Amino acid sequence: MVKLLRNEWRRYGVVAVSMAVGIAIIAVFAGVCIMFYEESSLLNVMTLFSYIIFLIIMHCIPLAAFVIPVISYSVDISRRGLLFLTPVSVWLAIIEKVLFGVAVSAVLCIESQWLTWLLNTMAAMTGSIQSDGVTDIPFSDLFSETSLFSWSVSSFVVSVTKTAHSALSIMAAIALARFAVNNTAACVVLSIVFSYLLGLVENMIFMLVTVVTDKTEFMYGVYGGYLGSSDFISTLITVCSNIIYAGIFYFLCTYLTTKKINLAY
């Protein structure tokens, strides 16, 4: 496992570090705008704009870490890959790819949260965002230790499990596409179709469960959970569903790769 992770780090370490640096650069940009905030309307808008961009990106980049295992897997099952020519167990190789993506996601998530906290402190000290009433972000609430902690933890856990879930769902879609066709171009199109279909099936199951159990209120809570809702039950359902789906897709993807897909094709 250590050798596999080391190999993955050699392959995608630069990408992971670039993502971390990207977050830091955006945070610095937002920080500079906040620091040089004045009463002029242009800077005010810029500050708010940079802050919003940062908040969006800091949620998206940790989730985007799922791309790393997906690319790694699709390269390895093609003729460009080497890993599946080795006697390494496919079960182990796939779990290692997902673990690497999850680790990257976790690091980026922690970095994002730490930088957000830093920017929030700066913004509160400068009073740049609140003073004009441009936004309703309750900084006082955010600084209360309990809410900040629970928000951080839920956002972290959701982000990390969502990375595993997304990566495995797309990897399963790629495996299904490779099982169905051997043509590379058709495989790409079919992978997109299968990912969409798998997502659709997941949503249908979720809606069915919420309707049958008469818990439709969770429908909104769970989708909110992706953005780090502090609602414990919603977060728990999101995390559990991520883990269950990740397990199902892991089994599907590994089974197809081991038994059904022609490798190095």
Nearest one of 12, 24, 119, 116 to 69, comparing CA atoms: 12
Residue 203 in the binding site for other proteins (CB under 8 A): no
Residue 86 in the binding site for other proteins (CB under 8 A): yes
Query: Is the distance from CB of 21 to CB of 107 less than 8 angstroms?
Result: no
Binding residue for other proteins (CB under 8 A) from 19, 26, 90, 103? 90
Q: Tokens 């081991």 belong to which residue?
A: 258
Cβ at position 107, least distance to other proteins in Å: 21
Amino acid identity, position 221: G
Residue 251 in the binding site for other proteins (CB under 8 A): no
Binding residue for other proteins (CB under 8 A) from 131, 144, 182, 184? 182
Tell me, rounded to whole angstroms, the distance of Cα 169 from its chain centroid.
13
CA distance 53 to 191: 30
Q: Which residue's CB is nearer to other proteins, number 27 or number 256?
A: 256
SS3 category, 113: helix
Cβ at position 5, least distance to other proteins in Å: 11
Residue 85 in the binding site for other proteins (CB under 8 A): yes
DSSP annotation of 85:
G
Binding residue for other proteins (CB under 8 A) from 40, 80, 212, 213? 80
Q: Which residue's CB is nearer to other proteins, number 12 or number 51?
A: 12
| Number of residues that this document lists for the chain | 265
Q: Which residue's CB is nearer to other proteins, number 82 or number 208?
A: 82
Q: Tokens 């790409």 belong to which residue?
A: 188
Residue 11 in the binding site for other proteins (CB under 8 A): yes
Query: Is the distance from CB of 9 to CB of 97 less than 8 angstroms?
Result: no
CA distance 162 to 165: 5
Q: Which residue's CB is nearer to other proteins, number 7 or number 47?
A: 7
Q: Which residue's CB is nearer to other proteins, number 10 or number 42?
A: 10
Which residues are near other proteins by CB under 8 A?
A: 3, 6-7, 10-11, 79-80, 82-90, 182-183, 258-265
